[in-house]
């Protein structure tokens, strides 16, 4: 569905790194970023624009590139009503945001995630989106300009607002699945029955496409048993397939940082869900689980996450765990429990991977020069001591693994 012409790629205010322009009805806004000028602006990897709309509300959109430059984030926040508009009655704010591709058509992000933002102080509603920079540059930037369509609906009747959110095709189909309306397949997972629509599942998964609509025997079976999967995991995957949402993930996670670390139970469920998404080819869910696990590594979860990455060959996830363990303090806390000793005993080459990761120079992502490494060493004379300390800790851990009786699995 085309929503804008090529002329709309141009910025109204020439020379500005970005701008936010509202339509006549105030419900649709276009956020334009001059991608090349952004890097030359004072903010460097971050730009922001605001725009006032009706009833004293103000919309604000921020675009930033992560510190390691691999991810980008878009945050759309609605503020208000302001103190200068006391007559305006606050209502329910529903905010959404979508990228435009090179043909200025709406696209769904497959290399990141998007979700509504919780209401907070001064924030009446919002929407966040994390997208891989490589995907953004390949699919959404034309002539150096990025276009983002923002929509905002303000409903003063709370009941009407709830109805507006629920009154979407995805929610209606999900409700029909829950009520077993027009469902044509049932899945038996650990004795629990899940009813679904073959076309919906096939549209989201090539595996389900072959299994449910192809020549496989499951295409004629009214009930299909799913082995080697937990019922709650299948339920989360089904929820994502229908709604493109995953309530399991904290709403403030953006793929690169979080103020609410994942709990151990959430981490375990995400690990199971990652395997399920990989098994059924739900790539966007797989990447969402992968990014969230990478961002949520802690001393409590690094061992199980690293074991999963090693067993299932997830190099991105493994690299995040090794980076976490390359910090001396993190390693000292994580390498003192039975799970770590069992992991190294079962996968001894991981010990060399940890050593090798720590030996790599830690340069700024924006600097590739040898002089930068020299500057770091000169400005931080204790770095050599830190390296030696960590190397000694890894060595002692290796000796302990060889001398220790491995724990039962």
CA dihedral 256, 117, 173, 177 (to 10 degrees): 70
- Here the CATH number for the domain that contains residue 21 is 2.60.40
DSSP conformation letters of 56-68: G-EEEEEEEE-TT
Structural domain includes residue 274: no
Q: Which domain covers residue 17, as residue numbers?
A: 6-156
Structural domain includes residue 380: no
Structural domain includes residue 301: no
Q: Are 140 and 146 in contact (CB under 8 A)?
A: yes
Q: Indicate the number of domains in the chain.
A: 1
Q: Nearest Cα to 3, choosing from 114, 93, 99?
A: 99
Structural domain includes residue 231: no
- What 8-state DSSP symbol labels residue 184? -
pLDDT at 116: 66
pTM: 0.53
Q: Up-side HSE of residue 398: CA atoms within 13 Å toward CB?
A: 14
Structural domain includes residue 21: yes
Per-residue pLDDT of the chain (409 residues; tens, 9 = 90+): 333 433 444 444 555 788 999 887 778 899 999 887 787 766 667 889 999 888 788 899 999 888 778 888 888 888 877 554 444 455 677 788 888 888 777 776 555 566 666 655 556 778 888 888 888 888 888 888 999 988 888 766 556 555 555 557 788 888 889 899 999 999 999 999 999 999 999 999 999 999 999 999 999 999 999 999 999 999 999 999 998 887 765 544 433 333 445 678 888 999 999 999 999 999 989 988 988 888 888 888 999 999 999 999 999 899 888 888 888 888 888 888 888 889 888 888 888 888 887 655 443 333 343 333 344 344 444 444 344 445 555 555 555 544 444 333 2
pLDDT at 406: 38
Structural domain includes residue 1: no
Structural domain includes residue 255: no
pLDDT at 110: 55
- What's the rounded Cα separation, in Å, for the pair 296 and 301? 8
Structural domain includes residue 351: no
């Amino acid at each position: 569905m085309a929503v804008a012409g090529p002329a709309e790629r141009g910025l109204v205010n020439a020379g500005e790194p970005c701008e936010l322009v509202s339509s006549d009805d105030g419900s649709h806004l276009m956020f334009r970023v001059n991608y090349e000028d952004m890097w030359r602006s004072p903010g460097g990897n971050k730009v922001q624009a605001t725009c006032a709309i009706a009833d004293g509300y103000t919309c604000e959109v921020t675009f930033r590139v992560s510190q390691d430059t691999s991810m980008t984030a878009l945050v759309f926040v609605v503020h208000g009503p302001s103190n200068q508009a006391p007559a305006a009655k606050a209502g329910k704010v529903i905010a959404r945001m979508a990228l435009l591709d090179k043909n200025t058509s709406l696209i769904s992000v497959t290399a990141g995630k998007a979700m509504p933002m919780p209401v907070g102080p001064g924030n009446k509603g919002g929407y966040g989106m994390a997208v891989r920079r490589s995907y953004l540059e390949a699919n959404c930037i034309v002539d150096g300009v990025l276009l983002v369509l923002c929509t905002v609906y303000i409903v003063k009747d709370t009941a009407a607002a709830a109805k507006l959110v629920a009154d979407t095709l995805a929610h209606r189909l999900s409700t029909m699945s829950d009520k077993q309306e027009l469902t044509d397949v049932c899945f038996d997972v650990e004795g629990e029955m899940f009813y679904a629509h073959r076309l919906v599942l096939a549209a989201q998964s090539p595996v389900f496409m072959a299994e449910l609509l192809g020549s496989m025997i499951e295409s004629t079976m009214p009930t299909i048993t799913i082995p080697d999967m937990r019922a709650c995991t299948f339920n989360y995957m089904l929820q994502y397939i229908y709604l493109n949402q995953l309530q399991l993930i904290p709403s403030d996670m953006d793929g690169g940082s979080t103020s609410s670390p994942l709990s151990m139970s959430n981490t375990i469920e995400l690990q199971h869900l990652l395997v399920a998404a990989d098994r059924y080819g739900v790539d966007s869910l797989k990447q969402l689980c992968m990014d969230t696990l990478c961002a949520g590594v802690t001393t409590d979860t690094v061992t199980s996450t690293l074991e999963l990455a090693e067993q299932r060959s997830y190099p991105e996830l493994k690299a995040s765990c090794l980076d976490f363990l390359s910090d001396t303090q993190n390693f000292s806390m994580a390498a003192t429990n039975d799970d770590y000793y069992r992991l190294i005993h079962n996968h001894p080459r991981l010990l060399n991977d940890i050593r090798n990761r720590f030996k790599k120079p830690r340069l700024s992502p924006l600097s590739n020069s040898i002089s930068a490494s020299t500057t770091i060493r000169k400005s931080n004379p204790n770095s050599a001591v830190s390296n030696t300390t960590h190397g000694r800790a890894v060595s002692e851990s290796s000796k302990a693994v060889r001398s220790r009786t491995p724990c039962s699995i």
